[in-house]
Amino acid sequence: MIVGVPTETYPGERRVATIPAVVPALTKAGLDVLVETGAGDAAGFLDAAYIAKGARIATDRQQVFADADVVLQVRSLGANPVAGRADLERLRPGQTVIGFSEPLGEPGAAGELAARGVSAFSMELIPRISRAQSMDALSSMATISGYKAVLLAASTLPRMFPMMMTAAGTVAPARVFVVGAGVAGLQAIASARRLGAKVEAYDVRPAVKEQVESLGATFVDLPLDTESSEDKGGYAVGQDEAFYARQREMMSRVVAGSDVVITTALIPGRPAPVLVTDAMVGGMTTGAVVVDLAAERGGNVEPSRPDETVIAHGVTVLGPTNLPATVPYHASQMYAKNVVTLLLHLVKDGALQLDLEDEITRGTLVSHGGEVVHPRVCDLLAPPD
Ligand code: NAD
């Protein structure tokens, strides 16, 4: 069985789905690895390094798609809606594609892959169970986003992060407020603390208070009713607009007192809640920085725009949508581990053997046998009356 790794074509995407270090795990399982020439260049993994680990290099993209039984991508069609379209006609019935694909935001892509007879697995749908932790690419990428959001804020802010007592006077530490303490938020807290900032954080899930405090940050206690704020999977449950209005009102004081606000609040399958209004940004000091990691999902911050730098009331508002691509070496290393672990989970005796009773296989399979098979994606394509 041949595993193909094409070059990523989404604009600005510098990651690659497989790195040389994971090739031996694939060859040991009886799989051949075929990498498009230059696929790892932008992440720092050159053709020679893949060859040294036992992969073959294909000189053209067509060959990767023609020869591969399984195509590994960072962004397959749904997550690469324009440039990814060119690959659709390269795919053939019976082929398998594994990658991020925005199955809940772009369900139509699953339909198109199904129509071509392709079996598609979505990395976004890896269940959050302990046995699947090493496949959890959303978590690995969120870790990188949280870290990089802090670096962006620190390099944009006209102040330093750490407190310094110097002969030229004392420099006060930057005050950072992190909204949403999931995977990205916790990494943002840890990174801001390492740089010496004074960090506060809030999340609707009261369970994270302890994690926030263990990182040396202060949990902001807002008197909101958050009893039913967490679902069985550990994700936040969407609240009504009245709740968010109260949350914004209660957070206003903390936002106004912060030099940096980093927002990461998401509700699976729904647009991100607006938690920082234009007026709240207006209450911040001149030169303050807001990084909205939810910008791609509609945004937690009213004035943020995806991938734009907006200056609102003298405050710099950033809305980066693909921070993992800006740390391509480690992002590719982590993603490769995730995607290869999933692939090896699906392989037995050198071939794909799909056990549709298995929670991980069933939970991530979006199209198969010419049909869209994931219930949540099916519902989105044909909403029940
Ligand atoms: P996410 O990206 O969906 O959301 C980010 C954070 O925003 C969450 O912590 C959420 O509670 C928070 N949020 C939502 N609405 C908010 C609001 N109005 N105000 C403030 N915060 C708000 O979540 P995630 O980071 O992917 O992970 C969420 C949970 O899943 C965490 O408990 C995490 O530990 C858990 N998790 C479990 C596993 C596993 O068991 N394998 C793996 C990864 C994550």
Ligand 1, atom 20, residue with closest C-alpha: 203
The atom number, within ligand 1, closest to the CA of 265 reads 7
Q: Is 235 a catalytic residue?
A: yes
Quote the pLDDT of residue 160: 98
Mean of the pLDDT values across residues 198-210?
95
What phi and psi values does residue 10 have, to the nearest 5 degrees? -65, 135
Q: pLDDT per residue over 269-289, tens digit each?
A: 789 999 999 999 999 999 999
Q: Is 50 a catalytic residue?
A: no
Mean of the pLDDT values across residues 166-194?
97
Q: Is 128 a catalytic residue?
A: yes
> What are the structure tokens assigned to 54, written together?
């036992």
Mean of the pLDDT values across residues 13-26?
98
Q: Which residues line ligand 1 (CB under 6 A)?
A: 128, 133, 136, 138-139, 142, 179-185, 202-205, 234-236, 247, 264-268, 273, 275
How far, CA to CA in Å, does 340 sit from each of 18, 26, 219, 308, 344? 8, 8, 37, 34, 6
Ligand 1, atom 39, residue with closest C-alpha: 128
Q: Is 239 a catalytic residue?
A: no
Residue 290 pLDDT class (50, 70, 90 cuts):
very high
Per-residue pLDDT for 146 more than 80? Answer: yes
Distance, CA of 81 to CA of 85 (rounded, Å):
6
**Which of 100, 104, 128 has most ligand 1 atoms within 8 Å of its beta carbon, as the pocket-test mutant?**
128
Ligand 1, atom 1, residue with closest C-alpha: 266
Mean of the pLDDT values across residues 118-137?
96
End-to-end CA distance of the chain: 43
Of 321, 269, 271, 311, nearest in space to 290 by CA: 311
Distance, CA of 362 to CA of 355 (rounded, Å):
8
Q: Which DSSP string corresponds to 293-350?
A: TTGGGT-SBTT--TT-EEEETTEEEE--S-GGGGSHHHHHHHHHHHHHHHHHHHEETT
Expressed in angstroms and rounded, the spacing between residue 182 Cα and the centre of ligand 1 is: 4
C-alpha torsion 115→119→120→125, nearest 10 = 120
Ligand 1, atom 30, residue with closest C-alpha: 234
Quote the pLDDT of residue 384: 64
Residue 120 pLDDT class (50, 70, 90 cuts):
very high
How far, CA to CA in Å, does 351 sit from each of 120, 261, 346? 16, 48, 8
- The label of the residue with tokens 């040294």 reads 52
In this structure, of 2-6, 259-263, 264-268, 301-305, the range with the lowest mean pLDDT score is 264-268
Quote the pLDDT of residue 385: 64
Per-residue pLDDT for 247 more than 80? Answer: yes
Of the candidates 41, 67, 69, 139, the residue annotated as catalytic is: 139
Q: Is 205 a catalytic residue?
A: no
Q: pLDDT per residue over 55-88, tens digit each?
A: 999 999 999 999 999 999 999 999 999 999 999 9
Expressed in angstroms and rounded, the spacing between residue 202 Cα and the centre of ligand 1 is: 12
Of 130, 141, 50, nearest in space to 334 by CA: 141
Please report, rounded to a whole number, the percentage of residues in the chain having pLDDT higher than 70: 99
Quote the pLDDT of residue 280: 98
Report the mean per-residue pLDDT for the chain. 96
